[in-house]
Structure 1
Amino acid sequence: MPGYPLQAFNFSVSITPDGDAAPLCDAAFAECDGLEMSLDVKTIREGGNNGVQIKLAGATSYGQLTLKRGMTKGFDLWRWFERVAHDPRVRATGEIVLRAADRDTDEAVFVLGRCVPLKIKAPSLNAREGIVAVEEMQLGYESLSLRGAEGVGSRV
């Protein structure tokens, strides 16, 4: 469906620890927030020219991804959190895939490099529910890139 805007409600999340062949998590989450980056901009004034400012791009900083109300088939996210708690060098690659309206076509993929879990929270326990869920998970990441449907990777 070329020409249609990207839809923010149709996405999937996968997390693959470094060195693993398959994702430990290919989960469905109701919310995903924190795909962001910002530049620390330095302002320089030229001597004798008070009407002009020069803006120089400085260091890039990245956001903190928050995933809410997720459903998975197991406890792999919890095990990964425990693994990182025992060995802080463990990292993973995260992918947030935006899907087209047909739910089969990948429109774009946000790739998060060197992810580390910051927080994991269980849902309220309720005997009427029969699913394994994650109420909230927060991830820190060290890089962010965007891969479009055309397969061309670009640094965001």
Structure 2
Amino acid sequence: MSVDTALPFGAFNFSVEIIPDGATQPLCSASFSECDGLEMTLDVKAVREGGNNGTTLRLTGPAGYGQLTLKRGMTAGFDLWDWFEKVVADPSLRATGEVVVHARDHSTDEVSFVLRRCVPVKLKAPPLNAKEGLVAIEEMQIAFESLSLVRLEGGDGG
């Protein structure tokens, strides 16, 4: 094992692209400061076998997926708001999302998470407080129907 493969990926250098179905360009024109919810779970059912009191069988059921939460500083680019309004007008609209984790050297990509059939489920305006001098952070939550990991050249994948 080389030294490079032993180092964990950094969680601070990533990019997010959301491309609505039928579009050729990514939706968002700004970077996100936080991305959370890249998760999958399997529904497991416990089954007792008659006459065997020492064992419980575990059968796997369907996979379930998390809900992606993205946060970014609010700018004059209202692309997330426009996308949300389009989905409200046409609930069948979907998008493909990709979250890419970049290497520490910023020149290669480690791994990519591909989210299919994404739909925005929550869009939150930033809290406003005149006493604080903080950046206005908007938040979007996105539901997705599948999640896959793509091993890239920079990531070892082994």
What TM-score, normalized to structure 1? 0.84
Q: Does 1:29 align with 2:71?
A: no
Q: Is the 8 Å Cα contact of residues 71 and 140 (structure 2) preserved in structure 1?
A: yes
**Cα distance, 1:104 vs structure 2:** 2.5
> CA separation in 2, counterparts of 1:125 and 1:53?
53
Q: Is the 8 Å Cα contact of residues 29 and 79 (structure 2) preserved in structure 1?
A: no
Equivalenced residues, count: 148
**Cα distance, 1:83 vs structure 2:** 0.4
> CA separation in 2, counterparts of 1:134 and 1:21?
27
Runs of 4+ aligned residues of structure 1 deviating over 6 Å after TM superposition are none
Q: Does 1:147 align with 2:145?
A: no
Ranges in structure 1 where 5+ consecutive residues have no aligned partner: 152-156
Give me the identity figure in percent. Answer: 64
* Residue 85 (structure 2) aligned to one of 56, 71, 82: 82
Q: Is the 8 Å Cα contact of residues 71 and 134 (structure 1) preserved in structure 2?
A: yes
What is the CA RMSD across the aligned residues, in angstroms? Answer: 2.4
Ranges in structure 2 where 5+ consecutive residues have no aligned partner: none
**Secondary structure of 2:4's match?**
coil
Q: Is the 8 Å Cα contact of residues 12 and 26 (structure 1) preserved in structure 2?
A: no
Q: Does 1:2 align with 2:11?
A: no
User: Alpha-carbon deviations, 1:77-107, whole Å to 9, x = none?
Assistant: 1111110000000000111110001122110
Q: Is the 8 Å Cα contact of residues 21 and 96 (structure 2) preserved in structure 1?
A: yes
